[in-house]
Amino acid sequence: MAVWSVVPEYEDQPLASRPILSAVAFAGGEPVSEARHAARDFLSDVQAVHGVPVSDRAVGMVQLVVSELVTNAQKYAPGPCLLDLEISDGAVEISVWDTDPTLPVAQAADPGRVGQHGLEIVIGACHSFEMRREPVGKRIRAAVVLADDPGGDPGGRPM
């Protein structure tokens, strides 16, 4: 279920200077497609309501990253996971929290390996990537730039 709300500390700020964010909680049994749809709907609102340009490439990359991160959370961590999306500095910051404190490790490149390439794809597709343990579980953050790079860099360009 998506939560679209104003964070109390921003209530007194003009609408244009408030952060644009969304939080979605998953109990653990929902299809990953719900996370992709939440990301797509968020970016549609970012464009339609807030007038922030979002390239088609960014929409596709965000859905891919969300799909990979939420899939891993559901596959390797028991219980709920949280998906946060926020527009910041010309990028969408994607954050997925889950209950397992074990940090994932990208495997060495192996074109013969079937599967387990998701983390490699996410790291390669994103402008920035970080992961950290939290008091309970872990949080993985990735950023996808909203504008296309005129040179064709799939990670976009920072604004």
Q: What is the pLDDT of residue 81?
A: 95
Name residue 95's beta-bridge partners.
Answer: 84, 141
Q: Judge residue 66's burial from the number of C-beta atoms within 10 Å of its C-beta, 0-12 exposed, 13-18 middle, 19 or more buried.
A: buried
Q: What is the pLDDT of residue 42?
A: 96
Among residues 77, 91, 101, the alpha carbon closest in space to that of 26 is found at 77
CB-based contacts of 15, cutoff 8 Å, min separation 6? none
Q: What is the pLDDT of residue 17?
A: 59
> What residues in the chain have per-residue pLDDT under 50?
1-6, 157-159
- Sheet with 91-98: list strands edge to edge: 2-3, 20-26, 81-88, 91-98, 138-145, 128-133
Q: What is this structure's pTM?
A: 0.83
> How far apart (Å, rounded) are the C-alpha atoms in residues 111 and 107?
11
